[in-house]
Structure 1
Amino acid sequence: METEITNSNSSSFEDLVKDHDVKDSVQNDDFMDILGNNQLTKKILVHGTSDTRPQRYDICKINYEAKLENGEEVENVENFSFQLGDLEVPQGLDMGIGLMNVGEKSEVHCSPRFAYGSLGLPEKNIPEDSKLIYTIELVSTHEETDIEKKSYKSRKEIGNKKRERGNFYFERQEYNSAIQLYRRALEYLDESDGGITSPVENSFIEPTNEQLQDLLEDRIKVYNNMAQSQMKIHAFDAALKSVDMVLTCQPNNVKALFRKSKILEAKTDISSAIPLLRKAANLEPENKSIQNELSRLILKSKREAQSEKNLYQKMLGQAQILDKRKPQCPPSKPDTNTNVRNRLKLWTYTLGSVLIGVAAIAFYRYKYSS
C-alpha cells in the first residue's frame, strides 16, 4: 500500500491568500535565495505540515498558477500530478516544490534559465526570456510504487509519458534533458527486469504476446530518439549502442540503418556506413533522402581513396629520389674517424629510404589490390 500525505483542508489559491492566519505566514518580505544567485527565490505564504517534504521521484500533487512579471496569468492548474526531479515540470518549479511541506503554499520566482529559457513557450503565450512567478500549493505527496510491481498498462502509460516529455526537450534542442527522459522511459518500457504483469482483481496475469510486442515498439521509438539526441551532442559511441539495440530487434528498421550510417561516418568509418545505406535504399527505394545520402557517401569515399592513392605515390616517389642521391666527394685528406662516421650515416640514410619505399608500396598494394 502507498502512504499518501494529504492536505485535507485544501482550497483555492484565492481563499488561501485571503483567509490564512497571519501567524502561519512569513512575517517579512524576505525570500529564500535557493541557489545564492538570485535567479531562483522562494517565499512561504502558508506553512504546511512539518517534515513532510517530498523526495526525488515521489509523486506530487499540486495546485499552481504562473504569471509573467507584468502580472499576466499564463497557467492555472489544479490537482496536477508529476514525478519530482524527473524533468516533468520546469526546473525552477521542480526545485521549489522539493523545498515545500505538504499543505504549504509558496511563491517561487524563476529566472528564464529555470523556466522556459530563450525559447519561451509560445503555446502558453510565454515569451522568450521570460521570468515566471509561480504560486504553488503542495496538496499531497507519496512514494512511487516499485516499477517491477506496476502493471503492464501502468508501465506503458508512464514510459510513453516520459518519452513524449523527452521529445519536448529534443524539439527545444535541450538534448541532455531529452536523453535523461528517454533513459527513464526505458526503465518502464523494458519487460526484462522483474517481468510485467497485468493485475486483475486480486490476481496477476502475464501480458499477452501482442501486448509485449506493443511494448517493444514503444522501446524501439525511445532508442531511436535517444540515438538521435546522442548524435546531436557528439556522443557517438553511446548513440551506436542505442541504434544497435533497435537493429537487434528490427534489422530492417530504416530509420535505425540511416542513423547508424551517420554515426559511422562521424567515426570516419565510411566503408561500413555505405552498406547500411544500400540496405536502407533497397528497403525504401522511393526515399530520396537515403538515395542522396548514399550518393554523397560513395563520392566522398572515392575522393578519399584517390587522395590516399596520391599520397602513397608521392611518398614512393620521394623514397626513390632519396635512394638515387649520391654522397659528396670526400676531402683530399680525410680524417679516418670522420670517414667512418660519414659512411655509417650514409648507409643508415639509404637503408631508411629503402624501407620507406617498401612500406609505401606494400600498403598501396594492400589497399588497392582488391
Structure 2
Amino acid sequence: MTVDSSESNEIGEDNMLREKVQADSIPTELNSQDSTKEVSESMETKDEWMDILGNGQLKKKVIKEGEDGTRPNKRDICKLKVVCEVNGEIVEEKDDFMIQLGDMEVVQGLDLTISLMDKDEIAEVYVDPRFGYGDQPEEKIPPNSVLKYIVELKEIIFEPIIETLSVSERLKMSNVKRDRGNFWYNRKKMTYAIHCYRRALEYLVSTNQDDQEDSHNGNTILESCMKVKNNLTAALMKTEAYDAALENVEDVLSHQPQNLKALYRKGQILKQKGEYAKAHAIFLEVQKLEPSMTSLQSELVYLEDKIAKEQESEKMLYAKMLGRVNNSKSKKIKVENKYKIAKGILWTLVGGTSTALVGILIHKFVS
C-alpha cells in the first residue's frame, strides 16, 4: 500500500503557475552561472557570512540589502527567485516561485533562511546536505550534495483566511500540501510528511456552504479529506504512532466503510498493537472485498498462530487463577522425580557395596 498520489486539475494549474518564468521581470544577468557572479560583484555586498545554526551547516550572506524590518512570518506566502547550484552547475532556476513559509515546500535549510530575509533582499545561501536533500538524490542533484542558492525575496503576502476561500481554491491549496507530503513520505522524512498532511487537512474542514458546492462537484472536499487522512495514517504508522493512526483511519472508514487502503491499514495497526483477533477479522473483510490480494494469506496465517497461542496462554492463566492446574501431571512429575532420586541412591549403594567386596577379596588373596 502506498500513499495516494492522484492530482486534481487545480494541482496541474498550480504547478504551471509556479514553474512559469516571467522573463520581463528577471534581471538577464541571473540567467547564467558566469553572469550571476558578475551581478553578485556589482551589487552592494557584505563580506561576512551569517552562521545561522552555529555549526557551519547553514550560512547566509547578503548580496543586496532589502527593506529593513520586513522579514516574513511563518505561514506567510513568499514570492521568490531561486537559482540553485551544485558543484558550480545550475541545477534549478525558478522565478515568481510561491511557497508558504514553514510548510516544507522547499528544503529545510532554505525554508529557515528565507525567514531571516527582508523583502527585496538578495542573498547567497550555503546548505549542507543535512538540511538539503541528504543522502537521497533529487533530479539533477546527486546524494550528499552541498547546495548553493542565490535567493531573492520578491514579495510577502499574508496567509489568506481559509474560510474566505472558495472550494476550488481550498482544494488547490490542500493538494499542494498533500503532494508535498507525498514528496517527503517517499524520501522517508515522516515528520515533514505528517506536518504537510495536517496542513492539507486544515483547508478541508467542511461548512454548510461547502456541502452546497460539493453537491455540484462530486463531494470533492470529502473525497480529498479521505485521501489526505489515508496518507496521514500511513505516515503515522511509520513513526509507530499507532493510536493517532487508528483515529485517522477510523474516521475514513466512518465515511467510506469499504475503503480498501483504510481497512488494510487498520488491520496492520491492530496487529502492531497486539489486537490479533480484531486484526484477523479486518483482514478477512479485506479478503472478501479483494480476493486477489495474495499478501493477505500470510497475514492471516500469522494472526491465526498468534491467536492460538494467546488462547492457550489464557487457558493456563485461568486454570491457575481457579486453582485447577492439572494435578495428575504435577503428581506424575513428582513421582518421576522421586523415582530418579531413589534410582540414583540405589546405584550409589550398589557401587559402594561392590567396591567393598572387591577390597575384601583382594585383601584375602594378597595376604
Give the TM interval when normalised to the shorter protein. Answer: 0.7 to 0.9
Task: Write the mapping of 1:123-162 to structure 2, written as runs, cut at 5 A.
Answer: 124-162=139-177
The whole-number CA distance in structure 1 between the counterparts of 2:167 and 2:177 is 15
Alignment match, 2:215: 209
Q: In the alignment, is the contact (CA less than 8 A) between 2:58 and 2:125 conserved in 1?
A: yes
The equivalent position to 1:25 in structure 2, one of 44, 47, 52, is 44
Alignment match, 1:119: 136
The structure with the largest alpha-carbon Rg is 2
The whole-number CA distance in structure 2 between the counterparts of 1:313 and 1:141 is 71
Q: In the alignment, is the contact (CA less than 8 A) between 1:150 and 1:196 conserved in 2?
A: no
Q: In structure 2, do the counterparts of structure 1 residues 280 and 44 end up closer, same or farther at CA, with 3 Å as the change threshold?
A: same
Deviation at 1:210, TM superposition (A): 4.1
Deviation at 1:196, TM superposition (A): 3.8
Alignment match, 2:84: 66
The whole-number CA distance in structure 2 between the counterparts of 1:246 and 1:310 is 39
Deviation by residue 1:234-293 (Cα, 9 ceiling, x = unmatched): 100000001001011011112111111111111111111111111111111222223432
Matched residue of 2:63: which SS? Answer: strand
Deviation by residue 1:179-198 (Cα, 9 ceiling, x = unmatched): 11100000112224x8549x
Alignment match, 1:94: 111
Alignment match, 1:11: 27
Matched residue of 2:325: which SS? Answer: helix
Deviation by residue 1:198-244 (Cα, 9 ceiling, x = unmatched): xxxxxxxx414142612211111111111111111110000000100
Deviation at 1:140, TM superposition (A): 0.7
Matched residue of 2:213: which SS? Answer: coil
Deviation at 1:303, TM superposition (A): 3.4
Q: In structure 2, do the counterparts of structure 1 residues 259 and 27 end up closer, same or farther at CA, with 3 Å as the change threshold?
A: closer
User: 1:181 aligned to 2:203?
Assistant: no
Q: In the alignment, is the contact (CA less than 8 A) between 1:148 and 1:196 conserved in 2?
A: no
TM-score by length of structure 2 reads 0.76
Task: Write the mapping of 1:1-370 to structure 2, written as runs, cut at 5 A.
Answer: 11-12=27-28, 14=30, 18=38, 25-28=44-47, 30-68=48-86, 70-121=87-138, 124-192=139-207, 195-196=209-210, 206-211=212-217, 213-309=219-315, 316-317=325-326, 321=330
Q: In the alignment, is the contact (CA less than 8 A) between 2:46 and 2:62 conserved in 1?
A: no
The whole-number CA distance in structure 1 between the counterparts of 2:146 and 2:245 is 35
Deviation by residue 1:80-104 (Cα, 9 ceiling, x = unmatched): 1110111000011111111111111
Alignment match, 1:330: none
Amino acid at match of 1:182: Y
* Cα RMSD, aligned residues only: 2.8
Q: In structure 2, do the counterparts of structure 1 residues 312 and 92 end up closer, same or farther at CA, with 3 Å as the change threshold?
A: same
Matched residue of 1:207: which SS? Answer: helix
Deviation by residue 1:129-163 (Cα, 9 ceiling, x = unmatched): 11101000111111021011111111001101111
Matched residue of 1:52: which SS? Answer: coil
Matched residue of 1:316: which SS? Answer: coil
Deviation at 1:106, TM superposition (A): 0.3
Q: In the alignment, is the contact (CA less than 8 A) between 1:258 and 1:290 conserved in 2?
A: no
Amino acid at match of 2:168: K
The whole-number CA distance in structure 2 between the counterparts of 1:183 and 1:63 is 27
Q: In the alignment, is the contact (CA less than 8 A) between 1:10 and 1:103 conserved in 2?
A: no
Amino acid at match of 1:119: Q
Q: In structure 2, do the counterparts of structure 1 residues 9 and 279 end up closer, same or farther at CA, with 3 Å as the change threshold?
A: closer
Q: In structure 2, do the counterparts of structure 1 residues 299 and 101 end up closer, same or farther at CA, with 3 Å as the change threshold?
A: same
Q: In structure 2, do the counterparts of structure 1 residues 27 and 172 end up closer, same or farther at CA, with 3 Å as the change threshold?
A: closer
Q: In structure 2, do the counterparts of structure 1 residues 49 and 184 end up closer, same or farther at CA, with 3 Å as the change threshold?
A: same
Q: In structure 2, do the counterparts of structure 1 residues 97 and 310 end up closer, same or farther at CA, with 3 Å as the change threshold?
A: same
Amino acid at match of 2:205: D
**Which segments of 5 or more consecutive residues in structure 1 lack a partner in the other structure?**
1-7, 198-205, 326-370
Q: In the alignment, is the contact (CA less than 8 A) between 2:80 and 2:97 conserved in 1?
A: yes
Amino acid at match of 2:183: F
Q: In the alignment, is the contact (CA less than 8 A) between 1:10 and 1:139 conserved in 2?
A: no
Matched residue of 1:137: which SS? Answer: strand
